Amino acid sequence: MQIYKVGGAVRDRLLGKPVTDIDWVVVGATAEEMLAKGFRPVGSDFPVFLHPKSSEEYALARTERKSGRGYGGFTFHASPEVTLEEDLIRRDLTINAMAEDDQGVLTDPYHGQQDLENRLLRHVSPAFAEDPLRVLRVARFAARYAGLGFRVAPDTLELMRQLSESGELEALTPERSWKEISRALMEDHPQVFIQVLRDCGALKVLMPEVEALFGVPQPAAHHPEIDSGVHTLSVLEQAALHKQPLSVRWACLLHDLGKGLTPQSEWPQHIAHEHKGLKLIKQVNERFKAPRDCQELALLAGQYHTHGHRALELKPSTLAELLQNFDVYRRPQRFEEFIAACEMDARGRLGLEERAYPQADYLRGAATAARTVAVQPLLEQGFKGPELGEALKRERLKALKAYKEQYSQ
């Protein structure tokens, strides 16, 4: 039995990055031998075991063969005869197909170290094209390592293009797709993930609503970058720069989908794109079964982001309605995330990335003013039921009028 550290732990050590998760592969062993040593089996698809003390994953060396469509359409074969090189060749990228023994001796049969030095994301073998999930994984790695100068090798991008055109991407489950998408959006350069998907033709398969934004112009006075798709990538870039949570990044990606529906005859104006985009945002939310907080914020940001930009001009009654729609009295954090999405949208414009966004503090102040209205005095006045609700609305509107007047002085 020989045990090797494999994959990301080896890659990140060579890159000088922190190593968090460690995966191990065991060559020359049987499942019975692993159980006899106290390892605990996990997973039904192929023999993976948890170490009795560290709980790290140890997988028996295995080969795999395509047996159906999609991510799960594989037959695995694990036996003591499978070599380390045979196990490594089934992996996605050369930089993930290296192994180290307990002495730190590197096994690198597919030149992963050289590709690390050359900053290339390259597939290990033609079998790469058998797994559609790898399109998303490679785009995610491109987003992770873009800051180090990594790019997708041209021949790998070509394989990704073939996969995108094969119909295999449609076989991915929403859960597997969302896992990759959500992880990619939380990388340092999530806009690179979307760009790579676009470069290989996967974006128009997975998110045609986002693909449709590219080539659609906006008024240059407000959007010096002009192209709606380019703007969306810039907004996503700003969200990452400002360390926004996943829900805000998801909202940033989807906020302008309605612009893809504007007839060319109306370009570069996009009247009512906020409302038109809601059905598209719902489609994308449902396609990937996004978590509820992501779905809700994306819809609210899509509908109201221009309200955010015009916050200082809004009538107190419109402001009151906005706060009510966000349920700021019970869910203040969601409104805070909406404000963040609006600010990222404003910053995601060419040359305006550093411009101040006073609307943010104004909206926070408005929410505070409305929330400070106490219910108890109204109860003491005898209001109850629907009448109490109406009285509370009136008092909040008064508070917002006073806030706006004070702000204007």
- For residue 226, how far is the Cα from the chain centroid? 24
Is the confidence at residue 70, as pLDDT, over 70? no
Q: Encoding tokens for residue 359? A: 């609307």
| Residue 78 parent element (H or E) | strand 74-78
Tell me how far apart the alpha carbons of residues 395 and 206 are, in angstroms, rounded to a whole number. Answer: 47
pLDDT band at 69 (very low <50, low <70, confident <90, very high): low
CA distances 303 to 184, 261, 295, Å, are: 25, 15, 12
Task: With H, G, I as helix, E, B as strand and everything else as coil, classify residue 151.
Answer: strand
Helix (H, G, I), strand (E, B) or coil at 398: helix
Does the structure show a pLDDT above 60 at 40?
yes
> Residue 61: inside a domain, yes or no?
yes
User: Is 129 contained in some domain?
Assistant: no
Of the three residues 49, 79, 110, the one that is the final residue of a domain is: 110
**Cα dist from 1 to 37, 64, 77, whole Å:** 12, 21, 17
Work out the percent of the chain whose per-residue pLDDT is above 70.
Answer: 96
Closest CA to 307 of 293, 325, 319, 295: 319
**pTM of this prediction?**
0.92
Q: Which residues pair with 23 in a beta bridge?
A: 6, 57
- Match 């503090």 to its residue by tokens: 361
Q: Looking at the predicted structure, is the pLDDT value of residue 68 above 80?
A: no
* Domain edge (last residue) among 75, 110, 145: 110
- Structure confidence by residue, pLDDT tens digits, 305-354: 999 999 999 999 999 999 999 999 999 999 999 999 999 999 999 999 99
Collapsing DSSP to helix, strand or coil, 274 comes out as helix
**CA-to-CA distance for 307 and 323, rounded, in angstroms?**
11
Please report whether residue 91 resides in a domain: yes
Q: Where are the alpha helices (DSSP H) in 271-384?
A: 273-276, 278-287, 292-309, 316-325, 332-347, 359-371, 376-380
Q: Cis peptide leading into 332, omega within 30 of 0?
A: no
Q: What is the DSSP letter of 224?
A: T
Assess contact for 207 and 153: CB atoms under 8 A.
no
- At 322 the pLDDT is 97
- Judge contact between 18 and 34, C-beta under 8 A: no
Is 233 in contact with 194 (CB distance < 8 Å)?
yes
Is residue 79 a part of any domain in this protein? yes
- Is pLDDT above 70 for 71? no
- Phi first, then psi: what are they for 6, rounded to 5°? -135, 170
Task: Give residue 35's domain range.
Answer: 1-110
Give residue 67's region: left, alpha or beta (phi > 0; psi -120 to 50): alpha
- Cα–Cα distance for residue pair 44/304, rounded to 1 Å: 46
Domain count, the chain: 2
Residue type at position 84: L
The single residue listed with the structure tokens 């790019």 is 151
Evaluate whether residue 195 is within a structural domain.
no
pLDDT value at residue 1 = 87
User: Residue 248: pLDDT above 90?
Assistant: yes
Distance CA 185, CA 208 (A): 18
Look up tokens 């926004």; give the residue.
244
Nearest residue to 258 (alpha-carbon basis) of 224, 314, 305? 305
118 found inside a domain: no
The answer as to whether 100 is a domain residue is yes
The pLDDT score that the predictor gives to residue 200 is 98
Both structure tokens of 27:
């060559």
pLDDT of residue 76: 66
Whether 279 is in a domain gets the answer no
Tell me which residue has tokens 């159980």.
Answer: 35
Give the DSSP H or E segment for 23. Answer: strand 23-27
Cα 51 from chain centroid (whole Å): 31
Q: Compute the Cα dihedral for 173, 179, 185, 190 and give only its sign.
A: negative
The residue out of 84, 110, 136 marking a domain boundary is: 110
Q: What is the CATH number of the domain that holds 35?
A: 3.30.460.10
State how far the Cα of 69 lies from the Cα of 67, in Å rounded to an integer. 7
